Amino acid sequence: VTAKTWLLTDVERDIYIDQIELGPREAGGSAQGYSVRKRRLRGGLRDGVDAVEVDTGALRFTLLPTRGMGLWRAEAGSLRLGWSSPVRGPVHPQFVPLMEPAGLGWLSGFDELLVRCGLESMGPPQFDDDGRLVHPLHGRIANQSAHRVEVAIDGDTGEIAVTGVVDEARLFHNKLRLTSTVRTRAGGTSLTITDEVTNLSARPGELELLYHINLGRPLLEPGAKLSVPLAALAPRTPRAAEGLAEWDSYGPAEPGFAEQVYFTQLHADAEGQTRALLRNARGSQGVSLRFNTRQLPWFVVWKSLEPDEDGYVTGLEPALNLPNSRSFEKQQGRVAVLAPGAAVRFDLELELHASPTGVERAQQAIDQLQAARPIIHDRPPQGWTAP
Amino acid sequence: VTAKTWLLTDVERDIYIDQIELGPREAGGSAQGYSVRKRRLRGGLRDGVDAVEVDTGALRFTLLPTRGMGLWRAEAGSLRLGWSSPVRGPVHPQFVPLMEPAGLGWLSGFDELLVRCGLESMGPPQFDDDGRLVHPLHGRIANQSAHRVEVAIDGDTGEIAVTGVVDEARLFHNKLRLTSTVRTRAGGTSLTITDEVTNLSARPGELELLYHINLGRPLLEPGAKLSVPLAALAPRTPRAAEGLAEWDSYGPAEPGFAEQVYFTQLHADAEGQTRALLRNARGSQGVSLRFNTRQLPWFVVWKSLEPDEDGYVTGLEPALNLPNSRSFEKQQGRVAVLAPGAAVRFDLELELHASPTGVERAQQAIDQLQAARPIIHDRPPQGWTAP
Amino acid sequence: VTAKTWLLTDVERDIYIDQIELGPREAGGSAQGYSVRKRRLRGGLRDGVDAVEVDTGALRFTLLPTRGMGLWRAEAGSLRLGWSSPVRGPVHPQFVPLMEPAGLGWLSGFDELLVRCGLESMGPPQFDDDGRLVHPLHGRIANQSAHRVEVAIDGDTGEIAVTGVVDEARLFHNKLRLTSTVRTRAGGTSLTITDEVTNLSARPGELELLYHINLGRPLLEPGAKLSVPLAALAPRTPRAAEGLAEWDSYGPAEPGFAEQVYFTQLHADAEGQTRALLRNARGSQGVSLRFNTRQLPWFVVWKSLEPDEDGYVTGLEPALNLPNSRSFEKQQGRVAVLAPGAAVRFDLELELHASPTGVERAQQAIDQLQAARPIIHDRPPQGWTAP
């Protein structure tokens, strides 16, 4: 038995499957105990959102083709990843006023575990000389709907892959394509994301990208800790500088907590591989994030420790560039330019640790990468933060 | 037999019922002749709107969970309440450009009998110092979709209640929840609305609210009359002052009629209860509106007497504050501040009078409330209208 | 047997047919080999778009009630009309940020063979004195959904008519109705469009209108040629003037090709009928466009010869007025004013030529109309292009 594939959506060929459930019976082979289920959500702000739910037997997660192949939630046993947003998502793009004049409409759809910021732009909204919005907060890709969705299952190895293709394209503008494949395996507790961004145009294309990975309770709690092989760090703002000494640990919620953001660079192995670990206070559970600093040279930490009802959440954010205004990033040479037809690839792995053993092993791996003492800036170095 | 409940939508529990019809058979008990029907509208601008249609046997009305629990239409026998808007509604929020730069997009969805203006803001659009829209005309709540909808029926008493929960919330912003219950009874010709607005946030929340109740033909006609126990009144603009002498009566349609708005305060009984009556020219039919001046201290009258094709309509609008710019209302201390977790309640009753007897009785009740001669200002007193 | 009609959508009467297929069996009569199929598209950006597919046996085309009765594609044998837009359409209006502050959101939905620009405005976005968008690029009508759709088939003559009614209306604003009927015939290779725009309002209504008919490969190719009975022509911009000598022929794609637009007036017969022909390099295939210069006095030619991935396309655009800013057009007296209740009619015919014979005949008809030598301006005459 080799991998079988199911095409769930392909607008070119007029294919759309409203609902399907796939498992060992459909895939054949010897692997057992997993399922892939696709359905359309209904009601409230989620009305019309397509969801692909993958269950490995040990890990369950939900992908959102309607929201740029975002990752909504993941859980392994009692360990649930994600956060409780003031918005009850997942939110269909029809309810997200992305282009509202102040440029903050993106927040109306923000409730995923993993949401991509980009592709033409990310970071704060940017306006033209007449004060008109040009680039909305965190860009357009998270509110674009996939035009192709495919599931592949190898019934023998138990490998499961979900691929979605999402365009961010417009006549006379940037024409970028995201092809995202999320892979896991029957019985596994981790998932990998392989993203390829292709410039469809015969003109050069420009790319900004940040993976906004958002974690709240129960993992995030007072005493929770972030471990990374830190090379350098700077607070983005004076407000962030206030919390510099505790940048990698989390306190209790504070009503009116003003967000703190840290820009960091991490050590990596010879291949550029690095990792981050967020663990709870007791170290009994955690989540590891692996990525490559050659692909994603920055790692941004966002802390927004408001009470649950307002969002108690941290963002772990591997990034191609920094979330400053697009013009500043361009000036700093951090906006990637893709030649006509060129593609770049980004790999991420998320591993859930439901037991102390997993957490310890992840910590050891990070300790091994911690080559030298990090440089901690008490304010942003030249070129890191837009003035 | 006690009340049975049906959960039609609950996104938290992944419940969504596309279509259902409930009546004596489903509820049990002795009450007869009523029904509650839920369905999804299709086609045109209504595509995807969920409608809950209640029929008491004597009164029929339609609630719109997809439009913030607005009340679309109501009718009792030959008496139909509502108006003929230039927009063929009900309009799904996906077709309402609420955040268009000029801030008037709300009008593209405006065709209900009762639409709430609020919750963070209502009144004219407001812009920041750079001219960018911050608060759109009449706010966001009417274009938010309920994430929970429940029907309760007591088969013995014939009491019917439809409850919807709608959030107006966003990270870093106001987080208010509207829980609206509309009640009626088998055989009844009135409905009550009980709204509770809760501040979900751990920060103080700010609230503006106006019930925009819109009436056109056949009830509104030349010679139709509005009765209220008037305490004080002022025209909002010089244009409104032109019609001051006939502020409470309605003339024939005039092409190009420029709208007139009157701000009023009403007398009430010892509990704060007051009422308004709109009756047709002959006094043979009418509608009564009951509310509490402690909850809703203002009553705004809107006259827009254009020919039918452009909208021949009056708005009777009990309000927490006045429809001025939000900053002016704040300055005047009329924006309500809700403590973290706090809730405020608003009660409204709509009674349809299909016969002269009902109209007369309603008029008598108003006459009894008319304690003293009203104060009629010929221009807005200080603090009523934003300069 | 006389014509039978099927009402597919009528929001007034709560009628909506999700899917239907009509043919000789349903219509009765002797005509054979044709079909009319209505369905709802699913997935990607087309999710929720209603499509009416007409097949005469010799010609197939798709109408889009959800996009203002636009014509998506047409084909006759190996001759396919339409173009390959960077956007994978048809795009549901929910995914088109029409009112984004910069006013270019219309481009996110632009991929049809024929799209109407109007009705209140068309041409470049226009802003008020505060820099806020008032009129978005090419107006609203293409992103409005029809509230009434009807199919009529005469089973004997084989005549097929699809009628859609689309409103562009808002309280206090313009209230125009488009009633569009597209007719063809079993076995036919042409279609006619009869549009009526009615001013629903009791106030005068204002109308701008341009038919943006877009053609790409395979018909458009290096060596392809446009024939019209030219009376006068001017380049819109200096950039267009660069290509003046070859304004009616098409070269190969050039990466970064900046668009060229020509404003023209055509000769017509005694009834005002005129025609245009676009043919491929060999003259083996082509498409004819017939319209009336009394209804549509302008003919705009748009050339955007970028590589396929960016859009290799030409627009043949009969128009009521020129695509300048609305205020300039008004100043020039080219914005039509419709009296209350008044209607204007526009007729267009599209004929597909799948063989050289048809192309030749069309060319001869144009040659006969070419009464005198055209006037070619090397820059826009006074009043043609907004400064």
Amino acid in the structure at residue B358:
G
Can you give the pLDDT at residue B1? 52
| Residue entry with tokens 């503008």 | A173
Output b/e per residue, A366-384; b: 16+ Cβ within 10 A.
beebeeeebeebeebeeeb
**Whether A154 contacts A9, CB under 8 Å:** no
Chain-chain contact of C46 with A11 (C-beta, under 8 angstroms): yes
> C164: distance to nearest CA of chain B, Å?
11
- Is the Cβ–Cβ distance between A169 and A207 less than 8 Å? no
Compute φ and ψ for A246, nearest 5 degrees: -115, 30
Q: Would the CB atoms of C46 and A9 count as touching at under 8 Å?
A: no
- pLDDT, residue A2, reads 78
Taking a C-beta distance cutoff of 8 angstroms, is the pair B314, B259 a contact? no
Place of tokens 């192709």: A148
Query: Could you please report the per-residue DSSP string of B33-55?
Result: S-EEEEEE--SGGGTT-EEEEEE
pLDDT above 80 for A1: no
Q: Which is nearest to A310 in space by CA: A253, A262, A260, A261?
A: A253
C7-27: per-residue pLDDT in tens? Answer: 999 999 999 999 999 999 999
Q: What is the pLDDT of residue C27?
A: 97
Spatial CA neighbour of A176 closest among A133, A136, A123, A116:
A116
pLDDT at site C268: 97
Q: Is B99 touching A (CB cutoff 8 A)? A: yes
Give me the pLDDT at residue A118, please: 98
Q: Which residues pair with B285 in a beta bridge?
A: none
Q: pLDDT at residue B182 above 80?
A: yes
Identify the pLDDT of residue A372.
83
Neighbours of B122 (CB within 10 A): 31
Which of C48, C98, C147 lies at the smallest CB-CB distance from B44? C147
Q: Are strands A230-235 and A375-376 parallel, antiparallel or unpaired?
A: parallel
**Partners of residue B194 on adjacent β-strands:** B181, B347
Per the structure block, which two tokens stand in for C44? Answer: 């990607």
CA distances to A80, B116, B370, C10 from B88, in Å: 45, 19, 39, 11
Query: What whole-number distance in Å separates Cα of residue C92 and Cα of residue C115?
Result: 14
Q: What angle do CA B372, B373, B377 make, to 5 degrees?
A: 130
Q: Number of helices (H) and strands (E), helices first, in chain A? A: 4, 26
Helix, strand or coil for residue A182?
A: strand
Residues of chain C contacting residue B105, judged by C-beta atoms under 8 Å apart: 99
| CA dihedral of B211, B215, B220, B226, whole degrees rounded to 10 | -10
For A190, the 3-state DSSP assignment is strand
Check if the beta carbon of residue A15 is closer than 8 Å to that of residue A9: yes
Q: Any chain C CB within 8 A of the CB of B49?
A: no
CA dihedral sign of residues A197, A203, A204, A207: negative
Query: SS3 of B66, please?
Result: helix
Q: What is the pLDDT along chain C (387 residues), one digit of tens a residue?
A: 579 999 999 999 999 999 999 999 999 999 999 999 999 999 999 999 999 999 999 999 999 999 999 999 999 999 999 999 999 899 999 999 999 999 999 999 999 999 999 999 999 999 999 999 999 999 999 999 999 999 999 999 999 999 999 999 999 999 999 999 999 999 999 999 999 999 999 999 999 999 999 999 999 999 999 999 999 999 999 999 999 999 999 999 999 999 999 999 999 999 999 999 999 999 999 999 999 999 999 999 999 999 999 999 999 999 999 999 999 999 999 999 999 999 999 999 999 999 999 999 999 999 999 988 899 999 999 999 988
ipTM of the complex: 0.95
B210 membership: H or E segment, kind and range: strand B205-215
CA neighbours closer than 13 Å in the CB half-sphere of residue B123 = 27
Q: Strand C225-227 to strand C230-235: parallel, antiparallel, or no bridges (unpaired)?
A: unpaired
Q: What is the pLDDT of residues B331-365, one digit of tens each?
A: 999 999 999 999 999 999 999 999 999 999 999 99
- Residue B232's contacts (CB-CB under 8 Å, 6 or more residues apart) are B264, B265, B374, B375, B376, B377
Look at residue C331 in the predicted model and tell me its pLDDT: 97
Nearest of A37, A43, A66, A59 to residue B12 by alpha carbon: A43
Q: How much is the mean pLDDT over chain B?
A: 97
Residue B121 has pLDDT above 80, yes or no: yes
Q: What angle do CA B197, B203, B206 make, to 5 degrees?
A: 45
Element (H, E) at C194: strand C190-199
CB B317 within 8 A of CB B211: yes
* Cα–Cα distance measured from residue C43 to residue C64, given in angstroms and rounded to the nearest whole number: 16
CB contact under 8 A, B43 and C147: yes
pLDDT of A344 reads: 98
Contact A125, A132 (CB under 8 A): no
Hey, CA dihedral for A239, A245, A249, A251, is it positive or negative? negative
Residue C45 in contact with partner chain A when CB distance is under 8 A = yes
User: In whole numbers, what is the pLDDT of chain A averaged over residues?
Assistant: 97
Q: Which helix (H) or strand (E) holds B366?
A: helix B356-369
Reported as half-sphere exposure (CB side, CA atoms, 13 A), residue C376 has a value of 11
- The pair of structure tokens assigned to C287 is 């498409």
Tokens of B280: 């047709």
Nearest-angstrom CA–CA distance, B99 and B103: 6
Q: For chain B, give the number of residues.
A: 387
Residue of chain B nearest C93, judged by CA positions: B95
Parallel, antiparallel, or unpaired: how do β-strands A286-292 and A273-279 relate? antiparallel
* pLDDT for res C1: 52
CB proximity A73 to B under 8 Å: no
Contacts of A145 in chain C (CB under 8 A): 43-45, 47, 95
Strands in C56-189 per DSSP E: 60-64, 70-76, 79-81, 114-119, 126-127, 133-135, 148-153, 159-169, 175-185
Phi, psi of C206 (to 5 degrees): -115, 140
Q: Indicate the DSSP class of residue C249.
A: B
* Structure-block tokens of residue A341: 């037809």
**Helix (H) or strand (E) run with residue C353 in it:** strand C343-353
Phi, psi (5° rounding) for residue C240? Answer: -65, -35
Nearest Cα residue in chain C from B108: C170
Q: Other C-beta atoms within 10 Å of A242: how many? A: 12
Q: For the residues B43-65, what does the mean pLDDT come to? A: 98
Flag if B255 and C18 touch (Cβ within 8 Å).
no
C-alpha dist (Å) from residue A346 to A269, A295, B92: 17, 6, 38
Q: Is the CB of residue B258 less than 8 Å from the CB of residue B282?
A: no
- Determine the pLDDT at residue A30: 95
DSSP string of A216-256? -TTTS-TT-EEE--EEEEEESSHHHHHTGGGTTB-----TT
**Do C9 and B94 count as a contact with CB atoms less than 8 A apart?**
no
* Strand-pair category, B175-185 with B190-199: antiparallel
C364: helix, coil or strand?
helix
Query: Cα B121 from chain centroid?
Result: 15
Q: Name the residue in chain A with its Cα closest to that of B143.
A: A95
Number of helical H runs and strand E runs in chain B: 4, 26
Distance CA A328, CA A386 (A): 6
Cis, bond preceding A218 (omega within 30 deg of 0) = yes
DSSP output for A26-95 = HH-SS--S-EEEEEE--SGGGTT-EEEEEE-SS-EEEEEGGGTTEEEEEEETTEEES---SS-SSPPGGG
- Give the integer Cα–Cα distance in Å for B75 and A130: 50
In this complex, is the C-beta atom of A141 within 8 Å of any C-beta atom belonging to chain C? no
Using a CB–CB cutoff of 8 Å, tell me whether C128 touches chain B: yes
| Shortest CA distance from A102: residue in chain B | B132
3-state secondary structure of A259: coil
Q: Compare CB distances from C202 to B108, B110, B309 and report the shortest one's residue.
A: B309
Cα(B271)–Cα(B265) distance, rounded to whole angstroms?
Answer: 16
For C44, which of A99, A131, A145 is closest by C-beta distance? A145
- Whether a cis peptide bond, with omega within 30° of 0, leads into A119 is yes
Encode C315-350: b = buried (16+ Cβ within 10 Å), e = exposed. bbbbbbbbbbbbebbbeeebbbebebeeeeebebbb
Q: Is the peptide bond before B323 cis (omega within 30 degrees of 0)?
A: no
Q: Which of C235, C258, C350, C237 is nearest to C311 (CA)?
A: C258
Measured between its terminal Cα atoms, the distance across chain C in Å is 58
Q: How many residues does chain A have?
A: 387
